[in-house]
Structure 1
Amino acid sequence: MSRTDTTPKSNSRPEHGYSFHVPADTDVYECPRCGRPFARERHRDLHLGQTHRGLSESERTAYDAASEDEQSDLRRFRIVALGLLVLFYFGFLFLFAIFG
């Protein structure tokens, strides 16, 4: 399958039901089972673990590492979002106390 090709190797519709246009100058990480393109290797590994069954040992290890990284990123996002929410809340509270 070439980078700009949006159909799987057979003439049937892709398993995921979508077709994708991938620019020729971008790096692509394709799912080895359904051919779906991903911009990052981590996204492909997460897709493999969540969508496909019967993973090999290396695919399972890659999925576990990607899942752990994803959880770490989500935890950091939640902490930053909570901090910003608290900052805005107290910021508006002080503004109201001073100018209200």
Structure 2
Amino acid sequence: MFPDADRGDARGTVTTPETAVRADETVAAVCPYCRRPFAEREAHDLHVGERHAEACSAVERDAYAAAREAERDALFYFHLRVVAAIGVLYTITVLLYMIALGGGFL
């Protein structure tokens, strides 16, 4: 969990949140609860919905639901591409094995 930039730690020092935004990227959104910056709006929406669910508004919950659905779709298509790549690699391996045996299949 990311510390709140306004609160101090046990020693009384003010802490700053970790960041995933590189120096050459622009900040797309900043969490209103813990002030963590995000390079992508979707990452921000997912963070707010998961880490600050009890405090987020209805609009933020809707944005979280949309971002989660988009992430689920992207993950599904990624898995399809992985399965297809494994299938192609397996087919190539079998074909090369058959050619190496000298018998071929033609």
Name the TM-score class by shorter chain.
Answer: 0.7 to 0.9
SS at match of 1:54: coil
TM-score normalised by the chain length of structure 1:
0.78
**Separation in 1, partners of 2:82, 2:39:** 25
Kindly tell me: are residues 32 and 87 of structure 1, through their superposed partners in 2, closer, same or farther at Cα, counting changes over 3 Å? same
Any gaps of 5 or more consecutive residues in structure 1?
1-6
Kindly tell me: are residues 94 and 22 of structure 1, through their superposed partners in 2, closer, same or farther at Cα, counting changes over 3 Å? closer
**Separation in 1, partners of 2:50, 2:97:** 48
Partner of 2:14: 12
SS at match of 1:13: coil
SS at match of 1:84: helix
- % same residue: 31
TM-score normalised by the chain length of structure 2:
0.74
Residues 14-52 of structure 1, C-alpha deviations (whole Å, 9 max, x = no match): 4xxx533752x6321111110111110000000111111
**Separation in 1, partners of 2:44, 2:18:** 16
SS at match of 1:48: helix
Q: CA RMSD of the aligned region, Å?
A: 2.1
Any gaps of 5 or more consecutive residues in structure 2?
8-12, 102-106
Partner of 1:45: 45
Partner of 2:85: 84
SS at match of 2:63: helix
**Separation in 1, partners of 2:93, 2:34:** 50
Equivalent residues, number: 90
